[in-house]
Amino acid sequence: MTPSQSYQRDERSCCPDSCNKRGACNWSTGHCSCGWFYDGDSCAEISDIAVTLIACLTGFFLIILITIVYWKFNRRTRKLAVSDTLEELRRELLIADEISEDDIESHSVNHRDKGASQKHSKYLSKGFIADIQQQLFLKDVSVSPGEVSMERQIGDGAFGDVYVGKYRETTVAVKVIRPNMLLGMSQEEVDCFKKEAYIMSRLRHPNIALFMGIVSVSDPLSDAGFESLYILSEYMEKGSLLDIIEQVNSQETSPFTNDGYIDWSFERILMCALQAALGMSYLHSHNPPICHRDLKSSNLLVDSRWVVKVADFGVSRVMTETSAEGSSQTLEQNADESFLKTTLVGTVAWAAPEMLVSQAKANYTLKVDQYSFGMVLYELWERKRPFSELTSRFAIMDAVRAGERPVIAREGCSKNYMHLMDLCLQEDPIVRPNFSEIVRVLKEELSALDTF
Protein backbone atom coordinates (compact mmCIF):
# COMPACT_ATOMS: atom_id res chain seq x y z
CA MET A 1 0.00 0.00 0.00
CA THR A 2 1.41 3.30 -0.98
CA PRO A 3 1.61 6.20 1.50
CA SER A 4 -0.99 8.12 -0.45
CA GLN A 5 -3.49 5.28 -0.10
CA SER A 6 -2.84 5.07 3.70
CA TYR A 7 -3.51 8.81 4.09
CA GLN A 8 -6.79 8.58 2.19
CA ARG A 9 -7.97 5.64 4.38
CA ASP A 10 -7.12 7.48 7.62
CA GLU A 11 -8.85 10.65 6.45
CA ARG A 12 -12.06 8.78 5.58
CA SER A 13 -12.19 6.97 8.95
CA CYS A 14 -11.45 10.09 11.05
CA CYS A 15 -14.18 12.34 12.49
CA PRO A 16 -17.50 11.52 10.74
CA ASP A 17 -18.94 14.33 8.60
CA SER A 18 -15.80 16.37 9.31
CA CYS A 19 -17.27 17.31 12.77
CA ASN A 20 -20.00 19.34 11.01
CA LYS A 21 -17.59 22.26 11.11
CA ARG A 22 -18.34 22.60 14.85
CA GLY A 23 -15.13 21.16 16.22
CA ALA A 24 -11.58 19.98 15.43
CA CYS A 25 -10.62 16.50 14.29
CA ASN A 26 -8.20 14.58 16.52
CA TRP A 27 -6.11 12.60 14.02
CA SER A 28 -4.57 10.35 16.62
CA THR A 29 -7.92 9.06 17.93
CA GLY A 30 -10.13 9.70 14.96
CA HIS A 31 -12.72 11.55 17.09
CA CYS A 32 -14.02 15.14 17.12
CA SER A 33 -13.07 17.65 19.79
CA CYS A 34 -16.28 19.76 20.11
CA GLY A 35 -16.70 23.18 21.66
CA TRP A 36 -18.65 23.71 24.94
CA PHE A 37 -21.90 24.29 23.08
CA TYR A 38 -21.90 20.99 21.08
CA ASP A 39 -21.44 17.30 21.80
CA GLY A 40 -21.46 13.86 20.06
CA ASP A 41 -19.20 12.01 17.64
CA SER A 42 -19.66 14.61 14.92
CA CYS A 43 -20.57 17.61 17.17
CA ALA A 44 -24.15 17.37 15.88
CA GLU A 45 -25.83 17.56 19.31
CA ILE A 46 -26.17 20.40 21.79
CA SER A 47 -24.33 19.83 25.03
CA ASP A 48 -26.03 19.52 28.42
CA ILE A 49 -24.33 22.72 29.55
CA ALA A 50 -25.76 24.62 26.59
CA VAL A 51 -29.25 23.22 27.21
CA THR A 52 -29.11 24.29 30.84
CA LEU A 53 -27.87 27.76 29.93
CA ILE A 54 -30.53 28.27 27.25
CA ALA A 55 -33.26 27.14 29.66
CA CYS A 56 -32.02 29.54 32.34
CA LEU A 57 -31.77 32.50 29.97
CA THR A 58 -35.19 31.77 28.45
CA GLY A 59 -36.77 31.55 31.88
CA PHE A 60 -35.05 34.75 32.97
CA PHE A 61 -36.26 36.72 29.96
CA LEU A 62 -39.75 35.25 30.27
CA ILE A 63 -39.90 36.39 33.88
CA ILE A 64 -38.82 39.89 32.88
CA LEU A 65 -41.34 39.96 30.02
CA ILE A 66 -44.19 38.73 32.22
CA THR A 67 -43.26 41.27 34.89
CA ILE A 68 -43.30 44.14 32.38
CA VAL A 69 -46.59 43.01 30.85
CA TYR A 70 -48.20 42.58 34.26
CA TRP A 71 -46.93 45.99 35.45
CA LYS A 72 -48.29 47.73 32.35
CA PHE A 73 -51.57 45.83 32.52
CA ASN A 74 -51.99 46.54 36.21
CA ARG A 75 -51.18 50.23 35.72
CA ARG A 76 -53.61 50.52 32.82
CA THR A 77 -56.31 48.66 34.75
CA ARG A 78 -55.83 50.89 37.77
CA LYS A 79 -56.13 54.00 35.61
CA LEU A 80 -59.32 52.67 34.07
CA ALA A 81 -60.64 51.77 37.50
CA VAL A 82 -59.83 55.24 38.82
CA SER A 83 -61.54 56.82 35.83
CA ASP A 84 -64.62 54.64 36.31
CA THR A 85 -64.88 55.20 40.05
CA LEU A 86 -63.83 58.85 40.38
CA GLU A 87 -67.39 60.11 39.98
CA GLU A 88 -68.56 57.45 42.39
CA LEU A 89 -65.91 58.60 44.82
CA ARG A 90 -67.05 62.21 44.49
CA ARG A 91 -70.57 60.96 45.19
CA GLU A 92 -69.32 59.22 48.33
CA LEU A 93 -67.85 62.53 49.44
CA LEU A 94 -71.26 64.10 49.06
CA ILE A 95 -73.48 61.43 50.53
CA ALA A 96 -72.18 61.01 54.07
CA ASP A 97 -71.16 63.42 56.78
CA GLU A 98 -68.48 60.99 57.84
CA ILE A 99 -67.14 58.53 55.28
CA SER A 100 -65.50 55.46 56.69
CA GLU A 101 -63.74 52.80 54.69
CA ASP A 102 -66.64 50.41 55.28
CA ASP A 103 -69.08 53.06 54.01
CA ILE A 104 -67.18 53.33 50.74
CA GLU A 105 -67.26 49.60 50.14
CA SER A 106 -70.88 49.05 51.17
CA HIS A 107 -72.25 52.02 49.24
CA SER A 108 -70.30 50.99 46.17
CA VAL A 109 -71.96 47.56 46.26
CA ASN A 110 -75.41 49.06 46.74
CA HIS A 111 -75.21 51.64 43.96
CA ARG A 112 -73.24 49.81 41.32
CA ASP A 113 -73.08 46.39 39.81
CA LYS A 114 -71.68 44.04 42.41
CA GLY A 115 -69.40 42.26 39.97
CA ALA A 116 -67.95 45.53 38.73
CA SER A 117 -67.36 46.69 42.29
CA GLN A 118 -65.53 43.49 43.13
CA LYS A 119 -63.49 43.81 39.97
CA HIS A 120 -62.42 47.32 40.81
CA SER A 121 -61.69 46.40 44.40
CA LYS A 122 -58.89 44.17 43.15
CA TYR A 123 -57.03 47.20 41.90
CA LEU A 124 -58.31 49.99 44.18
CA SER A 125 -57.53 49.40 47.80
CA LYS A 126 -59.31 51.36 50.50
CA GLY A 127 -56.09 53.13 51.27
CA PHE A 128 -55.72 54.10 47.63
CA ILE A 129 -59.24 55.59 47.60
CA ALA A 130 -58.50 57.42 50.85
CA ASP A 131 -55.39 58.89 49.26
CA ILE A 132 -57.47 60.19 46.35
CA GLN A 133 -59.91 61.70 48.80
CA GLN A 134 -57.15 63.46 50.69
CA GLN A 135 -55.64 64.78 47.47
CA LEU A 136 -59.01 66.15 46.41
CA PHE A 137 -59.41 67.88 49.75
CA LEU A 138 -55.97 69.42 49.84
CA LYS A 139 -55.70 70.43 46.20
CA ASP A 140 -59.20 71.75 45.66
CA VAL A 141 -60.06 73.22 49.05
CA SER A 142 -57.10 74.21 51.20
CA VAL A 143 -55.59 77.69 50.93
CA SER A 144 -52.33 78.79 52.51
CA PRO A 145 -52.83 81.32 55.36
CA GLY A 146 -50.17 83.56 53.82
CA GLU A 147 -52.32 84.07 50.73
CA VAL A 148 -55.17 85.69 52.68
CA SER A 149 -55.29 89.12 54.29
CA MET A 150 -58.30 90.50 56.17
CA GLU A 151 -59.46 94.10 56.17
CA ARG A 152 -62.67 95.32 57.79
CA GLN A 153 -65.46 93.37 59.44
CA ILE A 154 -68.77 93.43 57.53
CA GLY A 155 -70.94 91.08 59.54
CA ASP A 156 -71.29 88.38 62.14
CA GLY A 157 -73.32 85.27 62.78
CA ALA A 158 -73.83 82.39 65.16
CA PHE A 159 -70.75 80.56 63.88
CA GLY A 160 -68.32 83.34 63.07
CA ASP A 161 -67.50 86.87 61.96
CA VAL A 162 -67.32 87.93 58.32
CA TYR A 163 -64.58 90.19 56.96
CA VAL A 164 -63.65 91.69 53.63
CA GLY A 165 -60.25 90.37 52.61
CA LYS A 166 -57.84 89.77 49.77
CA TYR A 167 -56.93 86.45 48.24
CA ARG A 168 -54.48 86.50 45.34
CA GLU A 169 -55.33 90.15 44.61
CA THR A 170 -59.06 89.34 44.58
CA THR A 171 -61.57 90.82 47.01
CA VAL A 172 -63.22 88.00 48.97
CA ALA A 173 -65.48 87.48 51.94
CA VAL A 174 -63.67 85.75 54.81
CA LYS A 175 -65.77 83.99 57.40
CA VAL A 176 -63.76 83.36 60.56
CA ILE A 177 -65.19 80.52 62.63
CA ARG A 178 -65.59 81.59 66.24
CA PRO A 179 -63.01 80.16 68.69
CA ASN A 180 -65.72 78.62 70.88
CA MET A 181 -66.93 76.65 67.86
CA LEU A 182 -63.43 75.21 67.45
CA LEU A 183 -63.09 74.03 71.03
CA GLY A 184 -63.30 70.29 71.19
CA MET A 185 -63.00 69.78 67.44
CA SER A 186 -60.74 66.88 66.57
CA GLN A 187 -58.67 66.57 63.43
CA GLU A 188 -61.29 64.17 62.11
CA GLU A 189 -63.96 66.84 62.53
CA VAL A 190 -61.73 69.34 60.76
CA ASP A 191 -61.37 66.89 57.86
CA CYS A 192 -65.15 66.53 57.79
CA PHE A 193 -65.40 70.32 57.74
CA LYS A 194 -63.02 70.40 54.78
CA LYS A 195 -65.13 67.76 53.07
CA GLU A 196 -68.21 69.97 53.34
CA ALA A 197 -66.12 72.79 51.90
CA TYR A 198 -65.09 70.51 49.06
CA ILE A 199 -68.73 69.81 48.30
CA MET A 200 -69.47 73.50 47.96
CA SER A 201 -66.34 74.10 45.87
CA ARG A 202 -67.82 71.77 43.21
CA LEU A 203 -70.99 73.82 42.76
CA ARG A 204 -71.12 76.04 39.68
CA HIS A 205 -74.21 78.16 39.01
CA PRO A 206 -74.86 81.88 38.46
CA ASN A 207 -77.12 81.94 41.52
CA ILE A 208 -74.81 80.02 43.86
CA ALA A 209 -72.17 81.99 45.76
CA LEU A 210 -68.74 80.94 44.59
CA PHE A 211 -66.78 79.08 47.25
CA MET A 212 -63.06 79.80 46.95
CA GLY A 213 -61.37 77.79 49.67
CA ILE A 214 -60.75 77.08 53.32
CA VAL A 215 -57.83 78.18 55.47
CA SER A 216 -56.66 76.19 58.45
CA VAL A 217 -54.31 78.23 60.64
CA SER A 218 -52.04 75.74 62.38
CA ASP A 219 -51.15 75.77 66.05
CA PRO A 220 -48.79 72.92 67.09
CA LEU A 221 -49.58 73.57 70.76
CA SER A 222 -53.29 72.92 70.20
CA ASP A 223 -54.63 69.42 70.72
CA ALA A 224 -56.40 69.66 67.38
CA GLY A 225 -53.31 71.04 65.62
CA PHE A 226 -55.02 74.29 64.53
CA GLU A 227 -56.25 77.52 66.07
CA SER A 228 -58.74 78.91 63.57
CA LEU A 229 -60.58 78.21 60.34
CA TYR A 230 -61.44 80.67 57.57
CA ILE A 231 -63.98 80.14 54.79
CA LEU A 232 -63.35 82.12 51.60
CA SER A 233 -66.13 83.03 49.19
CA GLU A 234 -66.78 85.68 46.57
CA TYR A 235 -67.48 89.14 47.90
CA MET A 236 -71.04 90.39 47.32
CA GLU A 237 -71.06 94.18 47.30
CA LYS A 238 -74.68 94.75 48.31
CA GLY A 239 -74.60 92.30 51.19
CA SER A 240 -77.57 90.06 51.90
CA LEU A 241 -81.25 90.48 51.10
CA LEU A 242 -81.73 91.09 54.82
CA ASP A 243 -79.34 94.06 54.60
CA ILE A 244 -81.24 95.40 51.62
CA ILE A 245 -84.60 94.98 53.36
CA GLU A 246 -83.30 96.88 56.36
CA GLN A 247 -82.01 99.62 54.07
CA VAL A 248 -85.38 99.84 52.32
CA ASN A 249 -87.09 100.17 55.71
CA SER A 250 -84.68 102.91 56.72
CA GLN A 251 -85.53 104.82 53.53
CA GLU A 252 -89.06 105.33 54.79
CA THR A 253 -87.84 107.15 57.91
CA SER A 254 -84.70 108.69 56.39
CA PRO A 255 -85.16 109.11 52.63
CA PHE A 256 -81.76 110.75 52.16
CA THR A 257 -79.07 108.19 52.91
CA ASN A 258 -75.50 107.77 51.78
CA ASP A 259 -76.16 104.21 50.60
CA GLY A 260 -78.28 105.26 47.64
CA TYR A 261 -82.00 104.91 47.13
CA ILE A 262 -83.36 101.40 46.45
CA ASP A 263 -86.48 101.04 44.33
CA TRP A 264 -88.08 98.11 46.13
CA SER A 265 -90.82 97.47 43.58
CA PHE A 266 -92.82 94.28 43.08
CA GLU A 267 -90.72 93.60 39.99
CA ARG A 268 -87.55 93.81 42.09
CA ILE A 269 -89.07 91.45 44.66
CA LEU A 270 -89.98 88.95 41.96
CA MET A 271 -86.52 89.15 40.38
CA CYS A 272 -84.82 88.49 43.74
CA ALA A 273 -87.19 85.62 44.53
CA LEU A 274 -86.75 84.12 41.06
CA GLN A 275 -82.95 84.14 41.24
CA ALA A 276 -83.01 82.57 44.71
CA ALA A 277 -85.38 79.88 43.39
CA LEU A 278 -83.08 79.20 40.43
CA GLY A 279 -80.15 78.67 42.80
CA MET A 280 -82.19 76.35 44.99
CA SER A 281 -83.47 74.46 41.95
CA TYR A 282 -79.84 73.82 40.99
CA LEU A 283 -79.06 72.45 44.46
CA HIS A 284 -82.09 70.17 44.46
CA SER A 285 -81.33 69.00 40.91
CA HIS A 286 -77.75 68.17 41.81
CA ASN A 287 -76.71 64.53 41.71
CA PRO A 288 -77.12 63.71 44.54
CA PRO A 289 -79.50 66.51 45.66
CA ILE A 290 -78.27 69.05 48.21
CA CYS A 291 -80.56 70.24 50.96
CA HIS A 292 -79.62 73.73 52.19
CA ARG A 293 -81.53 73.53 55.51
CA ASP A 294 -80.84 77.17 56.42
CA LEU A 295 -82.46 79.20 53.65
CA LYS A 296 -83.32 82.74 54.72
CA SER A 297 -82.80 86.33 53.58
CA SER A 298 -79.47 86.68 55.38
CA ASN A 299 -78.11 83.71 53.40
CA LEU A 300 -79.15 85.18 50.04
CA LEU A 301 -76.39 87.52 48.90
CA VAL A 302 -76.56 90.23 46.25
CA ASP A 303 -73.75 91.53 44.08
CA SER A 304 -73.36 94.97 42.47
CA ARG A 305 -75.51 93.95 39.47
CA TRP A 306 -78.42 92.74 41.62
CA VAL A 307 -77.64 89.09 41.05
CA VAL A 308 -78.93 87.07 44.01
CA LYS A 309 -76.90 84.05 45.07
CA VAL A 310 -77.56 81.31 47.61
CA ALA A 311 -74.81 81.18 50.23
CA ASP A 312 -73.77 79.83 53.62
CA PHE A 313 -73.87 76.05 53.32
CA GLY A 314 -72.62 75.45 56.85
CA VAL A 315 -75.50 73.14 57.75
CA SER A 316 -76.24 71.82 54.26
CA ARG A 317 -76.58 68.11 53.78
CA VAL A 318 -76.58 65.89 50.73
CA MET A 319 -79.69 63.77 50.46
CA THR A 320 -79.98 60.26 49.11
CA GLU A 321 -81.86 59.70 45.87
CA THR A 322 -84.78 58.16 47.75
CA SER A 323 -85.06 61.26 49.94
CA ALA A 324 -85.23 63.44 46.86
CA GLU A 325 -88.10 61.34 45.62
CA GLY A 326 -90.11 61.91 48.75
CA SER A 327 -89.08 59.40 51.41
CA SER A 328 -87.63 60.77 54.61
CA GLN A 329 -84.03 61.53 55.45
CA THR A 330 -83.23 61.00 59.11
CA LEU A 331 -81.48 63.84 60.88
CA GLU A 332 -79.81 62.83 64.11
CA GLN A 333 -80.61 65.47 66.68
CA ASN A 334 -79.68 65.85 70.30
CA ALA A 335 -82.68 66.79 72.38
CA ASP A 336 -80.38 68.69 74.76
CA GLU A 337 -81.20 72.42 74.93
CA SER A 338 -77.60 73.44 74.20
CA PHE A 339 -77.81 71.66 70.86
CA LEU A 340 -80.94 73.65 69.99
CA LYS A 341 -79.12 76.84 70.83
CA THR A 342 -76.30 75.88 68.53
CA THR A 343 -78.34 74.78 65.55
CA LEU A 344 -81.57 76.79 65.67
CA VAL A 345 -80.59 80.28 66.84
CA GLY A 346 -81.76 82.75 64.19
CA THR A 347 -83.16 80.01 61.95
CA VAL A 348 -86.09 78.55 63.86
CA ALA A 349 -88.50 81.03 62.25
CA TRP A 350 -87.61 79.60 58.83
CA ALA A 351 -87.46 75.93 59.88
CA ALA A 352 -90.10 73.53 58.57
CA PRO A 353 -92.44 71.90 61.13
CA GLU A 354 -90.93 68.45 60.54
CA MET A 355 -87.56 69.79 61.67
CA LEU A 356 -88.92 71.14 64.96
CA VAL A 357 -89.86 67.80 66.48
CA SER A 358 -89.07 67.11 70.12
CA GLN A 359 -87.93 63.54 69.49
CA ALA A 360 -84.28 62.55 69.12
CA LYS A 361 -84.70 62.15 65.36
CA ALA A 362 -86.29 64.40 62.78
CA ASN A 363 -87.44 62.87 59.49
CA TYR A 364 -87.52 65.26 56.57
CA THR A 365 -87.06 65.57 52.81
CA LEU A 366 -85.79 68.24 50.45
CA LYS A 367 -89.12 70.00 50.90
CA VAL A 368 -87.84 71.68 54.08
CA ASP A 369 -86.14 74.18 51.76
CA GLN A 370 -89.43 74.98 50.05
CA TYR A 371 -90.91 75.85 53.44
CA SER A 372 -87.99 78.18 54.17
CA PHE A 373 -88.40 79.73 50.73
CA GLY A 374 -92.01 80.52 51.61
CA MET A 375 -90.70 82.45 54.60
CA VAL A 376 -88.30 84.29 52.29
CA LEU A 377 -91.24 85.29 50.09
CA TYR A 378 -92.89 86.66 53.24
CA GLU A 379 -89.72 88.59 54.13
CA LEU A 380 -89.38 90.13 50.69
CA TRP A 381 -92.92 91.49 50.66
CA GLU A 382 -93.49 92.33 54.33
CA ARG A 383 -89.87 93.49 54.86
CA LYS A 384 -89.62 91.90 58.30
CA ARG A 385 -88.67 88.63 59.93
CA PRO A 386 -91.32 85.90 60.16
CA PHE A 387 -92.95 85.76 63.61
CA SER A 388 -91.23 89.03 64.51
CA GLU A 389 -93.92 89.61 67.12
CA LEU A 390 -92.64 86.55 69.06
CA THR A 391 -89.48 87.10 71.08
CA SER A 392 -88.69 83.51 72.08
CA ARG A 393 -87.60 80.81 69.70
CA PHE A 394 -89.57 78.33 71.79
CA ALA A 395 -92.71 80.42 71.28
CA ILE A 396 -92.04 80.32 67.53
CA MET A 397 -91.60 76.55 67.64
CA ASP A 398 -94.88 76.14 69.53
CA ALA A 399 -96.67 78.41 67.05
CA VAL A 400 -95.37 76.49 64.02
CA ARG A 401 -96.26 73.15 65.57
CA ALA A 402 -99.77 74.52 66.22
CA GLY A 403 -100.13 75.28 62.51
CA GLU A 404 -99.70 79.07 62.70
CA ARG A 405 -98.10 80.82 59.73
CA PRO A 406 -97.22 84.48 59.05
CA VAL A 407 -99.85 86.35 57.05
CA ILE A 408 -99.34 88.96 54.33
CA ALA A 409 -100.61 92.28 55.73
CA ARG A 410 -99.03 94.87 53.44
CA GLU A 411 -101.39 95.90 50.67
CA GLY A 412 -100.83 95.39 46.96
CA CYS A 413 -99.55 91.81 46.94
CA SER A 414 -100.75 89.71 44.01
CA LYS A 415 -102.94 86.67 44.60
CA ASN A 416 -100.51 84.36 42.79
CA TYR A 417 -97.64 85.52 45.00
CA MET A 418 -99.65 84.90 48.18
CA HIS A 419 -100.86 81.54 46.89
CA LEU A 420 -97.30 80.47 46.12
CA MET A 421 -96.20 81.46 49.62
CA ASP A 422 -99.10 79.54 51.16
CA LEU A 423 -98.22 76.42 49.15
CA CYS A 424 -94.61 76.58 50.31
CA LEU A 425 -95.72 76.88 53.95
CA GLN A 426 -98.01 73.85 53.90
CA GLU A 427 -97.76 71.44 56.81
CA ASP A 428 -97.59 68.43 54.50
CA PRO A 429 -94.25 68.45 52.62
CA ILE A 430 -95.78 66.57 49.69
CA VAL A 431 -98.10 69.50 48.95
CA ARG A 432 -95.23 71.99 48.74
CA PRO A 433 -94.20 72.70 45.13
CA ASN A 434 -90.85 71.74 43.65
CA PHE A 435 -88.48 74.59 42.87
CA SER A 436 -88.99 74.02 39.17
CA GLU A 437 -92.68 74.82 39.74
CA ILE A 438 -91.76 77.82 41.91
CA VAL A 439 -89.52 79.14 39.12
CA ARG A 440 -92.34 78.72 36.60
CA VAL A 441 -94.83 80.66 38.75
CA LEU A 442 -92.41 83.52 39.41
CA LYS A 443 -91.55 83.80 35.72
CA GLU A 444 -95.25 83.99 34.87
CA GLU A 445 -95.68 86.76 37.43
CA LEU A 446 -92.82 88.71 35.86
CA SER A 447 -94.26 88.20 32.40
CA ALA A 448 -97.64 89.47 33.62
CA LEU A 449 -95.95 92.68 34.84
CA ASP A 450 -94.37 93.21 31.42
CA THR A 451 -97.76 93.09 29.72
CA PHE A 452 -99.00 96.15 31.62
Please identify every residue annotated as catalytic: 294
193 touches 187 (CB < 8 A): no
449 touches 439 (CB < 8 A): no
126 touches 103 (CB < 8 A): no
Enumerate residues 6+ apart whose C-beta is below 8 A from 247: 257, 259, 262
* Strand partners for 233: 173, 211
Q: Return the exposure string of 373-390: e unless at least 16 CB atoms fall within 10 Å of the residue's CB, then b.
A: bbbbbbbbbbbbbbbeeb
* Strand partners for 24: 33
Q: How would you list the strands of the sheet with 211-218, edge to edge?
A: 148-156, 160-167, 170-177, 226-234, 211-218
Helix axes 187-201, 126-140, angle to 10 degrees: 70
Give the Å distances, CA to CA, from 110 to 92, 133, 174. 12, 20, 39
Using CB atoms within 10 Å of the CB of residue 307, give its burial: 0 to 12 exposed, 13 to 18 middle, 19+ buried. middle
Q: How far apart are CA 437 and CA 284, in angstroms?
A: 12
What does the DSSP 8-state code read for residue 208?
A: B
Give the Å distances, CA to CA, from 328 to 291, 354, 365, 400. 12, 10, 5, 20
**Triad 32, 34, 40: Cα angle to 5°:** 70
Q: How far apart are CA 362 and CA 105, in angstroms?
A: 27
Q: Is 433 helix (H, G, I), strand (E, B) or coil?
A: coil
